[in-house]
A and B are shown apart, each in its own frame.
Chain A
Amino acid sequence: MKYLALLTGPEDIGQSRLFWIVFVLLVLNFVLGPLWMSEFEASNVSYYLLNLPMALGLCLLWGYCGVLSFGQVAYFGIAGYLYGIIAGNMRGDPWGPLLGEVGGLAACAVVSAIFGYFMFYARVQRWIVPILTLVLALLLETFLGQTAGYQWRVGSVQLGGYNGMTGIPWFQLGDFTFFGYSFYYYVVLLVLVSYLGCRALVNSHHGKVMLAMREDPLRTELLGYDIRARQLAVFVIAGVLAGLSGLLYVQWGNYITPSQLGLVQAALPVIWVAVGGRSKLLAVAISAYALNWITYSLSSAGNQYALVIIGGLLVVVMLFFPDGIVVTLARNMNRQALTRLLRRPGRS
């Protein structure tokens, strides 16, 4: 019960029974999806979904903790590359990919902990954090971009420079390999778990402290909380979640390039979060999914207007829904529901 309360707590969209019915239906929709989706569509949906953990992590960090990172793609890349190296070297070993996952996520945790330590314990100003994280991502991109030569081999795996690391193995548990529909289910499961986990986190006591830090770091500190450690903890969680997206990405496409860590890619998670509304996890999840879908649909139609439309969309959304489109809509829906409730007293 206590855990259920964590999930239905006030710090995300949806507390009503109706919401949870819709939510379960939505999950069911994803679970039953393969009944009407072709394998190709399932693969596309997997791609939209696999970006969600990174977006959720950034939402925790930015929306709930008030710290914007512009370089979440660095952890995306670290996990992806490390998975490729470990799983690629242990090719044939049924447990290699699992070890690669553990290694990738651990590396994300370690790197983000060290980097975060430098930032938060130095108490750098808040607006510098995005640029510092971006610099880390650009450094990694520059380094990986020039690793084309043979000397950049780790065991039997070549880093591959700008052309990227190819032939990254599918995910595998024992003798069962995940691809096609099974990969789709694996993504759905992991994304659901990370969403519910984040939701529980923000409704926990720690979540309350995060919000306090966002509102007023100084006051929070005076109340006796070590905000440096708390910020660092959220930073690490966000890094690991970005790493999870990176893992799923390389398992989806069997491929990663340094441009995944570049400036353009780095801005995308920030945009997903801002468009949905950074103050609510679900809003971010919805907008990340939707924007990925729109990007694909536009370019699939094969015209030059894709970037213009996306750019215009961003401007319009931020002008008219400055708190994020999903958050604003949800708030209005709540208000309507509230007025309806008030009109019919006695139903409590």
Chain B
Amino acid sequence: MEEFGLVISVVYQFGTNAAFLLLCALGLIVILGMMNIINLAHGELMMMGAYTASLSYQAGLPFPVCVAVSFLVVGFVGAVFERLVVRRFYGRELSALVVTWGISLLLSQGTLMVFGPFLPSIPIPGGSLDVGAYSLSVYWLILIAVSIAVVVALAWLYNRTTFGLHARATMQDAAMARALGVNTGRIYMLTFSLGAGLAGFSGALLAPTASIMPFMGQQFVAPAFITVVVGGAANVIAGAVGSSVLLSLVRTPVGFYLGAFLGLVALLLAALIIIRLMPNGVSAALLRWSDRRAQSG
């Protein structure tokens, strides 16, 4: 029983680590991967998601509804940003980086001035499960399931729908897509809005596990970028899944047996090494591997 509990606990830790990385990265993947915009306001979009969730929770809405509201609200805010600001920076990734940094300063300090230093937290839904000497949080189990579901939904959206087709066409060659009658401006707006909405969605989901403060977004930025970069751009969704799994595989045992500090160091080192070995990210390596299999098979 003791051994069984240990195994379950380690698997659970692995799942939470991977789900955390994936949730942090979700919105960023869509924006960075599809539009090549380094969105430094990503953390602040997540913060807005958490704020929306907390405010609507206080207004008496049930938590799942709050999460949906956050998705919609932050998605709308993203669309507004795209129209007003980001639109002017396509093809100039690095200027976009500075602009989004400016936006992030505005959002976080503005939030501090409007809402004060804290909002009340949301109680974590679900209790805990006892497994031997260990106990697992039901909510994190739900988060793991939700992050898998979102990835599946995204894959479906981009591979099976007309929007997905148009979006992929626009990302590959905007001029050609336009020539074929795709409204690329609309696709950009929807993609950015989707990315922002997903950031808000993740922010709302992570809100019960965090203190809701104006600068809370900063904690998600570094893990998000590392996950996306390690994943690579060949196929962003597969890449992000691959990299969050790979990074958690390194982090979980090190963190559990050697402590949180070495766990973090292992994560960062693993990111460096993976990129050295697979310069185009995990996704490109996955793609090559599946190609090779298809050829030999």
Q: How far is the CA of A330 from the CA of B222 in the complex (A)?
A: 37
Q: List 25 interface pairs A-B (beta carbons < 8 Å), by A numbering.
A: A118-B276, A122-B275, A124-B279, A125-B280, A130-B38, A134-B222, A139-B265, A139-B268, A142-B265, A143-B265, A263-B218, A263-B222, A274-B95, A304-B109, A307-B105, A308-B105, A311-B103, A311-B104, A311-B105, A312-B102, A315-B102, A318-B89, A318-B102, A319-B85, A322-B89
- Asked if residues B226 and A271 are in contact (CB atoms below 8 Å), the reply is no
Is B182 positioned at the interface, with any CB of A under 8 Å from its CB?
A: no
Total B residues in contact with A, Cβ cutoff 8 Å: 44
Is B119 positioned at the interface, with any CB of A under 8 Å from its CB?
A: no
User: What are the residues of chain B within 8 A of A135 when measuring CB–CB?
Assistant: 226, 268, 271-272
- Asked if residues B95 and A142 are in contact (CB atoms below 8 Å), the reply is no
- Asked if residues B93 and A127 are in contact (CB atoms below 8 Å), the reply is yes
User: What are the residues of chain A within 8 A of B103 when measuring CB–CB?
Assistant: 311, 315
Interface secondary structure of B, over-half rule? helix
Residues on B lying within 8 angstroms of A by beta carbon are 36, 38, 40, 85, 88-89, 92-95, 97-99, 101-110, 112-113, 218, 221-222, 225-226, 229, 233, 261, 264-265, 268-269, 271-272, 275-276, 279-281
Total A residues in contact with B, Cβ cutoff 8 Å: 40
Contacts A123-B279, A146-B261, A315-B102; A307 near B109 (Cβ below 8 A): yes
User: What are the residues of chain B within 8 A of A68 when measuring CB–CB?
Assistant: 94
- Asked if residues A274 and B98 are in contact (CB atoms below 8 Å), the reply is yes
Q: How far is the CA of A127 from the CA of B225 in the complex (A)?
A: 12
Contact for A128 among B101, B268, B275, CB less than 8 A: B275
Contact for B275 among A124, A305, A314, CB less than 8 A: A124
User: What are the residues of chain A within 8 A of B89 when measuring CB–CB?
Assistant: 318, 322
Q: How far is the CA of A304 from the CA of B40 in the complex (A)?
A: 22
Is A171 positioned at the interface, with any CB of B under 8 Å from its CB?
A: no
User: What are the residues of chain B within 8 A of A143 when measuring CB–CB?
Assistant: 265
User: Which residue among B98, B108, B221 has the maximum number of chain A CB atoms within 10 Å of its CB?
Assistant: B98
Q: How far is the CA of A305 from the CA of B106 in the complex (A)?
A: 10
Q: How far is the CA of A270 from the CA of B94 in the complex (A)?
A: 9
- Asked if residues B222 and A138 are in contact (CB atoms below 8 Å), the reply is yes
Beta-carbon contacts under 8 Å, A272-320 to B: 274-275, 278, 304-305, 307-308, 310-315, 318-319
User: What are the residues of chain A within 8 A of B276 when measuring CB–CB?
Assistant: 118, 122
A192 to chain B, nearest CB (A): 27
User: What are the residues of chain A within 8 A of B38 when measuring CB–CB?
Assistant: 127, 130
Could you mark each residue 56-72 of chain A with 1 if its beta carbon is under 8 Å from any beta carbon of chain B, else 0? 00000010000010000
Q: How far is the CA of A118 from the CA of B277 in the complex (A)?
A: 10
- Asked if residues B88 and A322 are in contact (CB atoms below 8 Å), the reply is yes
User: Which partner residue on chain A sits nearest B268 by CB separation?
Assistant: A139
User: Which residue among B99, B103, B280 has the maximum number of chain A CB atoms within 10 Å of its CB?
Assistant: B99
4 A-B pairs with the lowest CB-CB distances in the bound complex, closest first: A314-B102, A311-B105, A311-B106, A307-B109
User: What are the residues of chain B within 8 A of A190 when measuring CB–CB?
Assistant: none
B113 to chain A, nearest CB (A): 6
B267 to chain A, nearest CB (A): 10
User: What are the residues of chain B within 8 A of A123 when measuring CB–CB?
Assistant: 279
A105 to chain B, nearest CB (A): 24
Q: How far is the CA of A132 from the CA of B275 in the complex (A)?
A: 9
B40 to chain A, nearest CB (A): 7
- Asked if residues B92 and A322 are in contact (CB atoms below 8 Å), the reply is yes
- Asked if residues A315 and B85 are in contact (CB atoms below 8 Å), the reply is yes
B105 to chain A, nearest CB (A): 3
Q: How far is the CA of A324 from the CA of B102 in the complex (A)?
A: 14
User: What are the residues of chain A within 8 A of B36 when measuring CB–CB?
Assistant: 127
Q: How far is the CA of A314 from the CA of B96 in the complex (A)?
A: 11
Interface secondary structure of A, over-half rule? helix
A243 to chain B, nearest CB (A): 21
Beta-carbon contacts under 8 Å, A112-144 to B: 118, 122-125, 127-128, 130-132, 134-136, 138-139, 142-143
Q: How far is the CA of A99 from the CA of B40 in the complex (A)?
A: 39
Q: How far is the CA of A263 from the CA of B38 in the complex (A)?
A: 15
Q: How far is the CA of A307 from the CA of B113 in the complex (A)?
A: 11
Contact for B113 among A122, A127, A308, A314, CB less than 8 A: A308
A126 to chain B, nearest CB (A): 9
User: Which partner residue on chain B sits nearest A68 by CB separation?
Assistant: B94
- Asked if residues B268 and A308 are in contact (CB atoms below 8 Å), the reply is no
Is A106 positioned at the interface, with any CB of B under 8 Å from its CB?
A: no
User: Which partner residue on chain B sits nearest A142 by CB separation?
Assistant: B264
User: What are the residues of chain B within 8 A of A305 when measuring CB–CB?
Assistant: 109, 113
Q: How far is the CA of A218 from the CA of B246 in the complex (A)?
A: 32
User: What are the residues of chain A within 8 A of B88 when measuring CB–CB?
Assistant: 319, 322
User: What are the residues of chain B within 8 A of A118 when measuring CB–CB?
Assistant: 272, 276
B214 to chain A, nearest CB (A): 10
Q: How far is the CA of A130 from the CA of B99 in the complex (A)?
A: 16
Is A267 positioned at the interface, with any CB of B under 8 Å from its CB?
A: yes
B250 to chain A, nearest CB (A): 14
Q: How far is the CA of A307 from the CA of B268 in the complex (A)?
A: 29
Contact for A134 among B93, B99, B225, CB less than 8 A: B225
Q: How far is the CA of A319 from the CA of B103 in the complex (A)?
A: 12
Known: A132-B229, A142-B265. 20 other contacts (CB 8 A): A62-B94, A118-B272, A125-B280, A128-B281, A130-B38, A135-B226, A135-B272, A142-B268, A263-B221, A267-B40, A304-B113, A310-B105, A311-B105, A311-B106, A313-B102, A314-B98, A314-B101, A314-B105, A318-B89, A322-B95
B92 to chain A, nearest CB (A): 7
- Asked if residues A131 and B225 are in contact (CB atoms below 8 Å), the reply is yes
- Asked if residues A125 and B261 are in contact (CB atoms below 8 Å), the reply is no
- Asked if residues B97 and A270 are in contact (CB atoms below 8 Å), the reply is yes
User: What are the residues of chain B within 8 A of A318 when measuring CB–CB?
Assistant: 89, 95, 98-99, 102
User: What are the residues of chain A within 8 A of B97 when measuring CB–CB?
Assistant: 130, 270, 274
User: What are the residues of chain B within 8 A of A124 when measuring CB–CB?
Assistant: 275, 279
Q: How far is the CA of A136 from the CA of B105 in the complex (A)?
A: 24
